[in-house]
Structure 1
Amino acid sequence: MRRKLLFKLFSFNCVLMFLVYSTAVYAGSAGKLGAARASSVLNDLERHGKNLKIQVTGTVRDSVGFLPGVSIKVRGTNLGTTTNETGKYILDVPDGNVTLIFSMVGFEPREIPLNGRTKLDVILKPSGESLGEVVVVAYGKQKKTDLIGAVTTVDPKILKTSSSNLTTALAGRVGGVIAFQRSGEPGADNASFFIRGVTTFGYKAEPLILIDNIELSTTELARLQPDDIASFSILKDATATSLYGAKGANGVILVSTKEGKAGKPKFSFRLENPISSNTRNVELADPITYMRLNNEAVLTRTPLGELPYTENRIDATIAGKNPQVYPAVNWREELIKDYTSNQRMNLNLTGGGEAAQYYLAGTFNQDNGLLKVDRNNDFNNNIKLKSYGLRSNVNINVTKSTRVGVRLYGTFDDYNGPIDEGAALFRKVMRTVPTLFPARYTPDAANSATKHTLFGNSLNGDNFYINPYADMVSGYKDKSKSLMLAQFELTQNLSFITEGLSINALGNTNKEASFDVKREYNPFFYSVSAYNKFDDSFVLRELNSNSGTETLDYSEGTKVVKSNTTLQTALTYNRIFQAKHSVSALLNFKVLGSIEANANTLQKSLPSRSADLAGRATYSFNNRYFAEFNFGYNGSERFYETQRFGFFPSAGIAWAVSEEKFMAPVKKVLSKLKLRGTYGLVGNGDIGSSDDRFFYLSNISYNGPTTSFGTDYSYGRTGVNVTRYENRDITFERSKKLNIGLDLGLFNKFDLQADYFTEQRTGILQTRASLPKSLGLTAAVRANVGAASASGIDISSSYSQFFGTNFSIQALGNFTYATSKYEVYEEPIYAEKNLSRVGYPIRQTWGYIAERLFVDEADVANSPIQTFGTYSAGDIKYKDVNGDGQVTTRDRVPIGYPTVPEITYGFGFSSTFKSFDLACFFQGSARSSFWMNTNGSTSPFAPYFYAGESNVTGVPRNQLLKVYADSHWSEENRDIYALYPRLSTQVLENNNQTSTWFMRNGAFLRVKSVLLGYTLPKKLTKKLLMESVRFYAEGTNLGALSKFKTWDVEMGSDGLGYPLQRVYNFGLQVSF
């Protein structure tokens, strides 16, 4: 020690002498003598410097913890060292101006000039090839090799599709996620997705979504751009989700956005021009067939009935006489375009230095609908959804141990579209007669100067029919929606207290706002009152001169303004002892608050708050044996004080078999083998709507229904009425989850992750069905009485092979089978077991077994009585399940598969050859069913109304599906297995029962996407002063294999709505 001190004093004196003599030389006062003396000193110092050493110390870590084994070298020399088990290093360097090189497999190397420093702490970032080695988990990150829970990471690159909606990319691409899309309408095209299927029949079955640790909606996930995503994780089992406690029972989706990287600024942008069209159009019978079969529908039920169409009219329509008088309208062509063009643009800028790094991004998407626009209007009624997004992520290294992050984010949606939603207009095509009136009339002589559009119509009694064209072009709706978010993050290294300790704090505030207005006029309707067949002229009659208008009215919709606040603090600890024992711990506290400014009820206007405490402890020995314990402790204001808090623990263990010494001989073949097992309890506190906020309070009205008195009941008084009874025992749903997993790697090229899971869900909120009416209750009573179970497997695999530097191929695939069933269901006590839901899948359909169609009236007379109204030969014959001689509601049984698929899968490949890249992906679904004729929606010639359409303008009259026209029972075609029963002009109750007759298999295999790209050679891009330039073309939803052909099978029972879209996309991506 004494020698070191003397050496340092000697070195200091030498430097001091050097400064003194140098000053003399530069001052010029000593002349040549001074120069000689200075030269002498310099020579002495040079000789001494050969033996001079400076000691540098520091710590190397990544975003997860300290890094042992990091190589540190002095550039241009053979000097170097490595970090110990706690990430520390000590290195003697020849002088203070050398450059140190820090490197480790899987991380980006860093070269840092020492600049005279004797202490240098360094943070390494995962390299582009190994970003998947670090996985985002609840409230932190873990190395992939240390994972015990069932976590699937998704490469953001595979989420890039032709759609502006990120949720549509999930189907078939992520193991453990059941996803499907029911609509292709811009703004209403979010996919439905469930992690490991639907495991509850309560209020909420969808997963929790967190973006940068903030709870956000499915719509915000849909608006997220793949270019901005750094990591995308799916948390599936109890160990992965229990830290979210009462919010983790349905699984969790964690997304982290990109952050800045130190270095020169890098700018990139992406431009795309997608062209979209319907994947499949519903084929309708031609107008002539419609008229003939409409006549048949009358005659087959009422032989002496009046025919709606005479032969003269049919012949005139066939001959193509004046279409204003003898219309034959293709309503789909009147309303819908064949294709539409959309626009996409994304740009981002990243860079920074050691002190601060930034990532800035902007996005613009415009999705247009397929609706036509009336040439007489000075407004656009077509769907146009413009989405804007701005993001700023800035990180500042305030000190070596203090890091601050500021995130600013905003999304803005501007929607323009018809008064009716796009899906409603597509349905109206099915519900409008093609031969009754045209969409609009050519003006007759009397209306030659009329400025407004002469919309066609006809009276049905005192009511008009639906004219979908008039409904589409008679107005428009503007909707605006925005989310603005500000987030502050602070990370403080507390190694001065103990190595590996740090604290993270987060504060977030965001505001949601939405507003809509309507502008519309009342169409003027006309019909033909006289027709001169000699000169082919006609006279129009105005049907609603008193109610039609030419100017647009204005009405405002609902305004919504909601503010949300998140405050979160986490204490983390990461340490490695003796290079073998790795320990980590986390303790996180979070408070959430929200308030709605324009609430329409007292309950909704009150601020909402919740508090969460979560913890995690992990241990691993020598990267072979792993153990983990997690918990979530949550409080909710919705429950009574004795039920307000819930504790949700979980634990897991894992064994990396491939790291054992006895596996060394097969290490090159069996590159990875890991066994995992977890078990735990998670919860679901979102068990009711916003109207069910306080379950422990009763709703009592003092101005209830009027009770009448007196001999003539003319005297009435209002009274007290209970609309909801309190229940202080209502609390969280609870779910016990078991997961057994396997991670397998072969030849360092093939990876497979397989998990088997089970779940027992209890405490599902239900309305009590077993309470007798004699209690005199005026409202339903609810309690946590339901229970369900689930089980299944999910598998993900990938394969990579490189052939030199010019050719590579990658393949991936996943498979998920998830089934669930009712274990306890609040229902009447049935004598027939087939009526009980217990033991059957969640979202299972109950209905009748359709045996065939009745052959004739004798067959009708000799069969069990069917209690669904009148029926005759050619109508559906149902099975008498209980054998009591009649078919009633007691003969209903589970039919088909659940409406949510139990199996989803996907597979595909990508390849590169020199400057070209090619990718192809297939998506599949199985074990799901849907009902084709939902409530009579496809019944031909019938006046069908959807639920809640009591205020619909116009009387509907269904069109005729071509498949029904081609295959239906008739007097000439007594096919008892025809697709459709005997025709009718009404929705017959007997033929409209939910049954196997109209049940269809929802299985399909789809060519989800095909992509071809070309990247310009590096030599050329350098000349253009660019880093990379890539052109690409992509097709999405190119085709599907399915037994069902009437509409796109993925739409299920919603097939008459806005179809899914086939998209051809052309793009350019440039980086500077």
Structure 2
Amino acid sequence: MKRILIYIIVLSAFITQMVYGQAGKIISGVVSDNRGPIPGATVYEKELTANGAVTDQNGKFSLKLKGNAGTLVIKSIGYLTREISTTGKTTVNITLQEDAKGLEEVVVLGFGEKAKKITSTGAVSSISGKEIRQSPTSSIQNSLAGRLPGFFSQQRGGQPGKDGAEFNIRGISTYQGTTRPLIIVDDIEVTADQISMIDQNEIESLTILKDASTTAVYGVRGANGVVVIRTRRGEAGKPQLTFRQEVGLNSSTMNFDTNDGYTTLALLNEWTTQQYLDPAIQYPKYFAGNNLERYRLQDDPYNFPFVDWWDELTLKNSLQSRTNFDISGGTQKTKYFVSLGYFNQGGMYKNFTKDEGYNGNYNFDRYNFRSNVDIDPTKDLHIRFDLSGRFGVTNSPNDSPGNNGAPTLQYLWNGQLSAFGYPAFNANGTYGGSTSSATKINPIANLRYSGYSRDYTNNLGFVTQVNQKLNFITDGLSANALLSYASDYSFNRSLKRNAAEIPTYYWDPNTKSYLPVVNNLYRLGNLSRTGGYTGSNRVTNLQASVKYDKSFGNHDLNAFVLLNQTTKTDETASAATEPYNVRGITGSISYNFKQRYLLDIKGAYNGSDKFQNANKRYALFPAVSVGYNISEESFFKKNITFVDNLKIRASYGIVGNDGIGSSVYTYEKTYSSGSGKGYVFGETSNTAQSGIIEPTLSNTEITWETQTDGNIGLDLKMFKGKVSFTADFYKKRREDILTQRSSVAAAFGASLPFVNLGIVENKGYEFELTYRDNAFSNKLSYFINAQISHSENKVVFRDEGLAKYPWLGLTGKPVGALFGYQDAGLYQSLYDVYNSPKLLTATPLNNLNLGGVKLVDLNGDNVIDQYDMGYLGTNQPEFIAGLSLGFSYKGFDFSTLFQSSFKYFININRGIISYSRPENQSVPYNLGRWTPITGNDASFPVLAGSGSQNSVYSTYWTKRGDYIRWKNVEIGYRLPDSFAKKLHVNNIRLYANGYNLGLLYTALPVFIDPESVTGSSSTTNIGDINEYPQQRIYNFGIQFGL
């Protein structure tokens, strides 16, 4: 009995030691998944959540236990949470499984709020910073096309520092006000230009808020949608240092593919004859047969030159580079993330200024820094300090070879750099030139000597936030205060020389010597230095809020009330606007029962200083949304087990848009003075004397645009998260659009003010389908994602007055409508030419050509004029789509993205398409021109001068802008840890990615990028080619931890 008692005492002591001896013990280990270590995973004691650690870049952690339960909890976003016993252990290795169902567990909303995906009732799409970093472009908005349903974008050009895509959310709903969404970066409002300056390495996530239930909290500024960007923040643990270096090659997506010299000059001879009506008459040619043959042989390139200016001026590839260094870490009380970045992108010109001591090429340099610090002095008090800076330098050549200030590239795309006017270099090494007024200054000489223009942009911002839990009053209550400030300052430095002061030379056969094109100009003119302040803007935001977040059994309640004021000041070098404020109260109530029945009520009572009338300055912008998680019903769980989540949701609300004009005080009465703006006195002269007039009447009743917004959506997840599907259908009606009346007769005697009259309706849908799975014992993971978005709008009311003919009005047509003539093919006979309606008011003999475009006389008055111009289509894509797929296997990973836009139109009768000048280059597209032999088989009109019917906008030149683009690809490999340790680094990853890899389909000629064509409702500029083409980027990088 005594022996048994001794055994019991010893065993009890041993058990006690096991249970209570955990405190003070140090547990270390590695957290990983099927691909390798998981950095940033949280490890903490189950009963002491404040005692925890965060895994480093190698997935390692070390934790000194303070409790006695001996259970660790391991969490990481996108993985299932695990609990593991530490009893009798000092080292543990934990493998986490992906939680496909919870990959989108939390969505970011406005004013820093978050919601569980399963209980969210709004239309929201998001993308991670990791996905954004797969695109090696300088502007983050370029990375979003095809990745976010509802995000419509078009990248017009690729100039370094100015390549950011134009974008909107769910299409366009106004023809007067701004269409750009509100952009918030860590509680700081930024412009669309400023978002291009953000370093992609800093981004944690980007979310777009698309319906009234998510944007109503912004009230008068929520109608165009909201982009919310969150930057990376530190986690508790040892300092984690990461270095990333990339080098890329840029090349043009559009190649200036021209015909050879002989072909071009033969076409030019044809042009001189075909622009006349009677083909039987022999008209003089530009080039006689012998001379034409010399151009073909190219045996005397100085007297018979044919210069490929694209090849002479541009590089096959230009360079770009990116360097990033960041460090994060901290303790349970203080966490930090600090990032430094540098980006450089070179221009497409050759280095002509290497001996001049300055950079006369296109170039962009950007420097970024960010510091995000979180401090928790107590368990109930959280303090946040963010500081960021962005400094950009954009360089461009002062290179206009003509007299209209247009850059060299524009002349190149317009075909106006004569290939046969003069050689690039004369036989004596001087720059070639010509005395002909049709040719432009030698572009090589111009690029070398004309100087540069350099724009500097400096942006600084900070955020200070304090959050205090008020659990001593009641559980779940907290108070928050925030102050943010951002300042953007820009200035210019230029070094310029007038193109007329750059000597070029031509061969004079009389003196048998090279003479200057400009008489007696043998020396370069002086360079002049200019520069100064160009503008700035400042944004200050103040917030104070109280929040309540509490669960009561099966009931979850979240509510907050927020006071908000934003003050903005914009300045230019010539003028400054008065600061204006947006003030208001924002409120939100979110409730759910068992995560099954969902209700959100949100809104804002706010207004803007832009409006004078007190009754038109503030208003309530409410929204309500509901959701029903059918999959949370017991009958559903029992009978339909393959469905993880099925939710239907609906929202309706009212939001506003105060971005209605360029002036803060659109309502003010203004006066104008000067010569010709006065009155006629006496009987001897009809000349108006100087005076003061009121050019436009004022309207103090001006207010914001108001939009009613309805959305119905469905969220579905199946097969343990392998399949997910989202669908949204929406309809928006924008009213009170600023409109200048056209229905009032001109006899009224004054320019009418803008009034809130216009109405535009916009409707559409979005679908997104994702499949992801693992194979080979989770060693292989793969995914595929497909999405499509549709948006179409129409003008319901614009007060146009009564149109002379029904096809002339804008009402009933979309915003961005293109207008022009209808075509009926090409003229095939002289009889048809002579019996056709007159073009405008001129005679057919001077304006109509055999083989030219035949225009339709819509109103039957035998005259082709502005009354025959009808609707051609819209320049805004109605559909955008994206297809992405990828896989990872052991250390390898691969992903790619295809993106498309379709059902929109571009008028291509601009630039090098139009063969209308004698100095024009010709392109292969011109070879399909009409001749008496090709007749009906011609794909291009007869070559003729710009005065013909071929130069006007018509359906003949209006092409579908549809395209499919291979947008992005990335392949990477993570080297084994054993190799990294030898180099005293960790997590080495080598990767290569590409951007704008090629067009898989387009209806346009190969030298026109469908996104690089500008467009508007005005027929004066539809179809202009952006002079700096989009860039194809091949990028190579390495990333590792220190």
What is the CA-CA distance between 1:479 and the residue it aligns to? 1.4
Indicate yes or no: 2:240 matched with 1:266.
yes
Question: CA distance change for structure 1 residues 504 and 351 in 2, over 3 Å: closer, same or farther?
Answer: same
Deviation at 1:525, TM superposition (A): 3.6
Distance (Å, rounded) in 2 between the aligned partners of 1:887 and 1:1024:
77
Aligned partner of residue 756 in structure 1, secondary structure: strand
Question: Offset of 1:812 from its aligned partner?
Answer: 1.1
Question: Is the CA contact (8 Å cut-off) linking 2:100 and 2:722 kept in structure 1?
Answer: no
Equivalent residue number for residue 447 of structure 1: none
Is 1:1034–2:1034 an aligned residue pair?
Answer: no
The alpha-carbon distance between structure 1 residues 554 and 331, as it changes in their structure 2 partners (threshold 3 A), is: same
Are residues 1:615 and 2:587 paired?
yes
1:25-61 CA distance string (max 9 Å, x none): xxxxxxxxxxxxxxxxxx9x9999999999x9xxxxx
Letter in 1 for 2:493: V
Q: C-alpha deviations, 1:461-501, integer Å up to 9, x for none?
A: xx863443343332111211110111111111111111111
Question: CA separation of 1:504/1:128 partners in 2, compared to 1, >3 Å: closer, same or farther?
Answer: farther
Residues 828 and 295 (structure 1 numbering): CA distance in 2 closer, same or farther, change over 3 Å? Answer: farther
The 2-side partners of 1:828 and 1:549 are apart by: 58
Kept after mapping to 2: 8 A contact 1:382/1:416: yes
1:730 Cα shift? 1.2
The correspondence of residues 27-38 of structure 1 with structure 2, limited to 5 A, is none
| Alignment partner, residue 1050 of structure 1 | 1011
Tell me if structure 2 keeps the 8 A contact 1:813–1:907: yes
Is 1:860 matched with 2:833? yes
Q: 1:658 maps to what in 2?
A: 631
Is the contact made by 1:868 and 1:989 (CA closer than 8 Å) also made in structure 2? no
Letter in 2 for 1:378: G
Q: Verify: 1:962 aligned to 2:924, yes or no.
A: yes
For 1:774, the equivalent position in structure 2 comes to 747
Greater C-alpha Rg: 1
Distance 1:129 1:221 in 2: 32
AA of the residue aligned to 1:371: Y
**Using a 3 Å threshold, how does the CA distance of structure 1 residues 702 and 881 change in structure 2: closer, same or farther?**
closer
Asked if the contact 1:599–1:605 (Cα under 8 Å) also holds between the matched residues in 2, the reply is: no
- Partner amino acid for 1:400? K
2:392 is the alignment partner of 1:392: no
Is 1:762 the counterpart of 2:732? The answer is no
Deviation of 1:558 (Å) = 4.6
Q: Deviations over 1:820-852 (max 9, x none)?
A: 111112323114221122222221212111111
Q: Deviations over 1:4-32 (max 9, x none)?
A: xxxxxxxxxxxxxxxxxxxxxxxxxxxxx
2:233 maps to 1:246: no
1:170 aligns with 2:144: yes
> Alignment partner of 2:713: what SS?
strand
Deviation at 1:400, TM superposition (A): 1.5
In the alignment, which residue of structure 2 is the partner of 1:673?
646
Shift of 1:301: 2.9
Q: Relative to 1, partners in 2 of residues 1:483 and 1:918: Cα closer, same or farther, differing over 3 Å?
A: same
| CA apart distance, 1:937 | 6.4
Select the residue among 517, 521, 526 that pairs with 1:551.
526
Q: How does 1:176-195 map to 2 (within 5 A)?
A: 176-195=150-169
Match in the other structure for 2:411: 428
In structure 1, C-alpha distance between the alignment counterparts of 2:664 and 2:790, rounded to whole Å: 35
837, 848, 852: which one pairs with 1:871?
Answer: 848
Checking the alignment, whether the CA contact within 8 Å between 2:503 and 2:524 is kept in structure 1 is no
- Which whole-Å CA distance do the structure 2 matches of 1:787 and 1:737 have between them? 14
**Contact (CA 8 Å) 1:442, 1:454: kept in 2 or not?**
no
Code of the residue aligned with 1:436 in structure 2: it is G
Q: Which residue of 2 aligns with 1:1062?
A: 1032
Offset from partner CA, 1:774-800 (integer Å, 9 cap, x none) = 1111x3421111111111111122211
Q: Rate the CA distance shift 1:610–1:220 in 2: closer, same or farther, 3 A.
A: same
Matched, 1:718 2:718: no
Q: 1:47 and 1:832, CA in 2 relative to 1: closer, same or farther beyond 3 A?
A: closer
The Cα of 1:74 is off from its aligned counterpart by: 5.8
Distance verdict in 2 for CA 1:805–1:826, change over 3 Å: same
Selected match of 1:810 from 775, 783, 792: 783
Aligned to 2:939: 979
Note the C-alpha offset of 1:320: 2.1
2:816 to 843, 846, 854: 843
Shift of 1:97: 7.0
For the 8 Å contact 1:906–1:924, the answer to whether it is kept is yes
Deviation of residue 326 (structure 1)? 1.9
Q: Could you tell me which of 473, 489, 504 is aligned with 1:497? A: 473
Q: Which residue of 1 aligns with 2:392?
A: 413
* 1:752 corresponds to 2:725: yes
Superposed, 1:370-769 pairs within 5 Å as 370-374=348-352, 377-420=356-399, 424-429=407-412, 430-443=415-428, 454-460=431-437, 465-473=440-448, 474-522=450-498, 523-531=501-509, 538-545=513-520, 549-556=524-531, 558-578=533-553, 580-596=554-570, 600-601=574-575, 604-640=576-612, 641-689=614-662, 692-703=663-674, 705-713=677-685, 717-747=689-719, 748-769=721-742
CA distance in 2, matches of 1:1054, 1:259: 44
Deviation of the 1:922 alpha carbon: 0.9
Q: Work out which of the residue numbers 898, 905, 924 in structure 1 matches 2:881.
A: 905
CA shift digits 1:357-413 (9 cap, x unpaired): 000001111011111222653322111101110000001112221111100000000
Separation in structure 2 between the aligned mates of residue 282 and residue 937 of structure 1, nearest angstrom: 9
SS state of the match for residue 814, structure 2?
coil
Equivalent residue number for residue 209 of structure 1: 183
Q: How far apart in 2 are the matches of 1:771 and 1:507?
A: 49
Q: CA deviation at 1:153?
A: 1.7
The offset of 1:1013, in angstroms, is: 1.1
Q: Normalised by the size of structure 1, how large is the TM-score?
A: 0.84
**CA shift digits 1:845-901 (9 cap, x unpaired):** 1211111111122112233333264213222111222334433322222213x2111
Q: What one-letter code is carried by the residue in structure 1 that aligns with 2:1031?
A: Q
Cα–Cα, structure 1 residues 716 and 1007, in superposed 2: closer, same or farther, change >3 Å?
Answer: closer
Secondary structure of 2:358's aligned partner: coil
Cα shift at 1:306: 4.3
Q: Secondary structure at the match of 2:291?
A: helix
Seen in structure 2, the aligned counterparts of structure 1 residues 499 and 693 have a Cα distance that, compared at 3 Å, is same
Q: Are residues 312 and 376 of structure 1, via their aligned partners in 2, closer, same or farther at CA, if it must alter by over 3 Å?
A: farther
Q: Is the 8 A contact 2:431 2:445 kept in 1?
A: no
Residue 715 of structure 1, CA deviation: 7.9
Q: CA deviation at 1:556?
A: 1.7
**Aligned equivalents of 2:871, 2:704: Cα separation in 1:** 29
The one of 954, 968, 974 equivalent to 1:1015 is: 974
Q: Who is 2:37 aligned against?
A: none
Alignment CA distance shift 1:881-1:527 (3 Å): same
- Selected match of 1:821 from 794, 808, 827: 794
The structure-2 alpha-carbon separation of the partners of 1:914 and 1:654, relative to structure 1 and needing over 3 Å to count, comes to same
1:991 and 2:950 aligned: yes
Which whole-Å CA distance do the structure 1 matches of 2:265 and 2:539 have between them? 58
CA distance in 1, matches of 2:915, 2:951: 12
Paired with 1:822 and 1:938, the residues of 2 have a C-alpha distance of: 32
Partner AA of 2:864 in structure 1: V
Alpha-carbon shift at residue 619 of structure 1 (Å) = 0.7
Secondary structure, aligned partner of 2:898: strand
Return 385-394 or 326-335, whichever deviates more: 326-335
Match for 1:798: what amino acid? T
Aligned to 1:137: 109
1:168 shift after superposition: 0.9
**Distance in 1 of aligned mates of 2:360 and 2:531:** 17
Counterpart CA distance in 2 for 1:305 and 1:859 is 23
After TM superposition, the structure 1 stretch with the greater mean CA deviation from structure 2, 1059-1068 or 467-476, is 467-476
Name the residue aligned to 2:26: none
Does the CA-based 8 Å contact 1:655-1:674 persist in structure 2? yes
The answer as to whether partners of 2:127 and 2:207 remain within 8 angstroms in 1 is: yes
- The aligned residue for residue 766 of structure 2 is 794
Residues 63-92 of structure 1, C-alpha deviations (whole Å, 9 max, x = no match) = xxxxxxx997469xxxxxxxxxxxxxxxxx
Deviation at 1:553, TM superposition (A): 1.3
**Residues 136 and 622 of structure 1, relative CA distance in 2, 3 Å threshold:** same
Q: Deviations over 1:136-190 (max 9, x none)?
A: 1011111111100101121222212121221111111111111121111111211
Length-normalised TM-score, structure 2: 0.86
Q: How far has the Cα of 1:925 moved from its partner?
A: 1.3
What is the alpha-carbon root mean square deviation over aligned residues? 3.2
